[in-house]
Amino acid sequence: MNHSKQPDRTGSASLEEQERVQRELNLVLAQESQVDLAAADWHKRHVAGLSAQEAQDFAQWRAQSPAHAAAYDDMVHSYQLQRDLSQEDTPRLQSSDAHAWARFVHAWPPELDTDHDAAQAPSHASKPRASHRSATPQGASRGRYGWGLRQRHVLAAGVCSALFALVAWLAWQAWNAPSYQASYATVQDQRQEIALKDGSQLVLDSNTHVNVALYRNRRELQLLDGQILLDVAPNTQRPWQVQAGSATLRVLGTRFSVRHRAQGEGAGEVNVQVEAGIVEVHAQSAGNATPTTTRRILHAKQGLQVSPAGVMGAVTALPAGDIAPWRSGLIRFSNTPLAQALVELERYGPTKLAITDPKVAALPIDGMYEANRPDRFAKLLTNLHPVQLVPREDGQIEIQLRR
């Protein structure tokens, strides 16, 4: 009798079996990943529009395997869930997400769906169930995949949580996106009237540039350069906010004018004039170490000026005819230096007027003038101040002091 010990191969065989099972499971997951990626690609093409050849290729791909059709249907369902979110209640979304989680769990190979003890032997009499996913290797013990059930639920929960977060984020983005946005600009000697989608009326003066955005809960206008008149359609649920330089205006239903020049004399200053209703003006002063926010309420026939540094001036009373006279082709000066007055006139067209003497440039100008008639303005100057008009060889007319 030979009592020599035989080599114990049990441990080695067990290790080899575990490695084989792991390789087979990795193959299953890899195949599923490839199917899902292909489904996502086909869905993207469907949204963009399929050509005749692509439609034929898609039908062929879908018919190749039930797993292809199931993966594509899941992709369509997720996309539809995203689109409907803005019109659905949160409880319904949570319910849909729960159903998606359940479908994800039960779509895995039936061999992984076990709550038997790991040591239980496989039943040879039972036949494997049909599945639209890749099949598990035959002969593998259901118990060997017991750990896969736990990992599957963790993965499924993670995927569904990520899907819910993504859909919620996309819905939030869609809700906060503007329903209408546009940029408007006028050139020299041009004025434009615009009927906005919300019912408000916007008038742009010469050389003016604005951006408009209408949201579900607010309306915004950014005055980059120039001056505007905004006649606001009342809507308490969607207040208007106008940004101009260092000032921010908030209104509900009113008619007011805002002026903000990006360059030249008075660059950065903001002038607000209210024709009807109420306007709330905010300005943040950056002159101090700690910024200071100032707030003023303007009523009809009132105005104020905000400096480039955000310093708000006093509220002043305005005659009705002084509010946005440019609508009628007029321009008003109030103790304005002549040089600055010429710059303003140039916004409406070439004046051909020139100044070289600083004393002439500093002469004060008051009154209302026709914006597009610089020739009349020049003649009036000779009556207002001791100046003369001297033609130059370059075609310009220089304004000089009388000798």
CATH code, domain with 378: 3.55.50.30
Q: What is the pLDDT of residue 46?
A: 78
CB 324 within 8 A of CB 275: yes
Q: What is the pLDDT of residue 125?
A: 41
Domain membership of residue 3 (yes or no) is no
Rounded (5°) CA angle 266-230-350: 45
In angstroms, the CA 379 to CA 222 distance is: 38
Does residue 203 share a domain with residue 162? no
In angstroms, the CA 283 to CA 133 distance is: 63
pLDDT band, residue 142 (cuts 50/70/90): very low
Q: What is the CA radius of gyration of the chain?
A: 38
For tokens 């779509």, what's the residue? 107
Q: What is the pLDDT of residue 213?
A: 94
CB 378 within 8 A of CB 397: yes
Distance of CA 235 to the CA centre of its chain: 22
Closest CA to 83 of 174, 160, 161: 174
Both tokens of residue 311? 């310093």
Q: What is the pLDDT of residue 247?
A: 94
Domain membership of residue 46 (yes or no) is yes
Query: Has residue 132 got a pLDDT over 50?
Result: no
Query: Has residue 255 got a pLDDT over 90?
Result: yes
Mean pLDDT of 371-400: 93
Average pLDDT, the chain: 78
Higher pLDDT, 270 or 22: 270
In angstroms, the CA 165 to CA 159 distance is: 10
Q: What is the pLDDT of residue 138?
A: 44
Domain membership of residue 302 (yes or no) is yes
List of residues 6+ apart from 10 with CB closer than 8 A: none
Q: What is the pLDDT of residue 143?
A: 45
Does residue 196 share a domain with residue 69? no
In terms of residues, how long is the chain? 403
Domain final residue pick, 265, 287, 321: 321
Terminal Cα-to-Cα distance of the chain (whole angstroms): 143
In angstroms, the CA 312 to CA 249 distance is: 13
Domain membership of residue 90 (yes or no) is yes
The DSSP result for 153-181, as a single string, is HHHHHHHHHHHHHHHHHHHHHHHHS-SEE
Domain that holds residue 390: 329-403
Q: What is the pLDDT of residue 284?
A: 85
- Best mean pLDDT range from 73-82, 160-169, 387-396: 387-396
CATH code, domain with 203: 2.60.120.1440
Domain final residue pick, 260, 286, 321: 321
Query: Has residue 119 got a pLDDT over 70?
Result: no
Query: Has residue 145 got a pLDDT over 70?
Result: no
Closest CA to 328 of 293, 370, 384, 290: 370
CB 220 within 8 A of CB 243: yes
- Count of domains in the chain? 3
In angstroms, the CA 71 to CA 170 distance is: 22
Query: Has residue 5 got a pLDDT over 50?
Result: no
Handedness of CA 55, 58, 64, 70 (dihedral sign): negative
The amino acid at 341: A
Domain final residue pick, 251, 286, 321: 321
Does residue 163 share a domain with residue 22? yes
DSSP 402: -
H helix intervals, 49-89:
52-64, 66-84
Higher pLDDT, 133 or 200: 200
Which of the residue ranges 11-20, 171-180, 343-352 would you say has the lowest mean pLDDT? 11-20
Strands 353-354 and 397-401, bridge-based pairing: parallel
Dihedral angle over CA of 85, 133, 19, 157, nearest 10: 20
Does residue 302 share a domain with residue 369? no
pLDDT band, residue 141 (cuts 50/70/90): very low
The amino acid at 91: P
Does residue 152 share a domain with residue 195? no
Domain membership of residue 360 (yes or no) is yes
Higher pLDDT, 8 or 369: 369
Q: Give the three-class secondary structure for 244.
A: strand
Does residue 107 share a domain with residue 229? no
Strands 397-401 and 316-317, bridge-based pairing: unpaired
Percent of the chain at pLDDT exceeding 70? 67
